[in-house]
């Protein structure tokens, strides 16, 4: 799939599920970090509407015991890449998604202010799918072309900007394969 980012900073031809959990960036031109995450709801299970429900404030606390702990979180990401490679966008790239929390990259705090957050449907220990890597590479190339402050050196995992607090995308994520594939 070839991605195109429109003038409103949404991807064309992907599913959009606007999240209320975002706000304006202080500087819309300061998009200089890409953060890779993972998520599965319930933990370790794939498919279903639960991630979309979480990112839109509609997760039913009675849907699963774990949901009682998280249903009131106000979190989002710019995009989710499902196991089959499908992309769902929740927040336009020029807005601040609430994905990084307390974080720091290269001595600069508050990564949400200047980053794009991409969630992979997965866990820290289960391999990601080839379709996810293909889609992530294509999406990354599109983001690198559109936002000039982004670079291969300014791509990181949640675990590296929030060490001790977060572990994703985890040991299962193949950074070498992902970044080598960006050269194609």
Quote the CA–CA distance of 132 and 111 in Å, as a whole number: 24
List the structure tokens of 20: 């209320």
Give tens-digit pLDDT for 61-76.
999 999 999 999 999 9
For residue 99, is it within any domain? yes
- pLDDT band (50, 70, 90) for residue 31: very high
Q: Is 121 a catalytic residue?
A: no
Count of all residues that appear for the chain in the document: 184
Q: Where are the beta strands (DSSP E) in 32-183?
A: 33-39, 79-81, 87-89, 95-97, 104-105, 108-109, 115-121, 155-157
* Ranges of H-type helices in the chain: 50-55, 67-70, 130-146, 158-161, 175-181
For residue 152, is it within any domain? yes
Give tens-digit pLDDT for 51-64.
999 999 999 999 99
For residue 177, is it within any domain? yes
The pLDDT of residue 146: 97
For residue 15, is it within any domain? no
For residue 20, is it within any domain? no
Mean pLDDT of 24-43: 97
The pLDDT of residue 177: 93
- pLDDT band (50, 70, 90) for residue 184: low
Portion of the chain with pLDDT greater than 70, in percent: 99
List the structure tokens of 178: 């992902």
For residue 38, is it within any domain? yes
The pLDDT of residue 171: 96
Q: Which of 86, 119, 121, 159 is the catalytic position?
A: 119
- CATH classification of the domain holding 73: 3.40.80.10
> Which residue matches tokens 């336009």?
92
Quote the CA–CA distance of 41 and 31 in Å, as a whole number: 28
For residue 151, is it within any domain? yes
The pLDDT of residue 1: 73
In the chain, how many domains are there?
1
Domain that holds residue 38: 28-181
**Mean of per-residue pLDDT scores for the chain:** 97
> Which residue matches tokens 């499908």?
86
- pLDDT band (50, 70, 90) for residue 18: very high
For residue 17, is it within any domain? no
- Whether the full predicted model's pTM is greater than 0.85, yes or no, is yes
List the structure tokens of 109: 């705090």
Quote the CA–CA distance of 160 and 164 in Å, as a whole number: 9
- pLDDT band (50, 70, 90) for residue 183: confident
Mean pLDDT of 106-135: 98
Phi, psi of 176 (to 5 degrees): -60, -50
């Amino acid at each position: 799939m070839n991605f195109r980012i429109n003038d409103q900073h949404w991807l064309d031809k992907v599913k959009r599920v606007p999240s209320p959990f975002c706000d304006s960036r202080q500087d819309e031109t300061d998009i200089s970090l890409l953060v890779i995450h993972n998520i599965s709801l319930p933990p370790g299970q794939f498919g279903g509407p639960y991630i979309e429900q979480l990112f839109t404030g509609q997760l039913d606390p009675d849907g699963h015991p774990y949901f009682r702990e998280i249903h009131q979180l106000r979190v989002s990401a710019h995009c989710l890449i499902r196991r089959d490679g499908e992309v769902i966008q929740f927040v336009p790239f020029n807005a601040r998604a609430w994905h990084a929390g307390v974080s720091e990259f290269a001595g600069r705090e508050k990564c949400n202010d200047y980053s794009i957050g991409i969630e992979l449907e997965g866990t820290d220990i289960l391999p990601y799918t080839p379709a996810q890597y293909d889609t992530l590479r294509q999406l990354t190339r599109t983001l690198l072309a559109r936002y000039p402050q982004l670079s291969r050196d300014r791509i990181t995992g949640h675990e590296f900007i929030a060490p001790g607090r977060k572990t994703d995308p985890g040991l299962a994520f193949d950074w070498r394969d992902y970044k080598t594939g960006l050269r194609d």
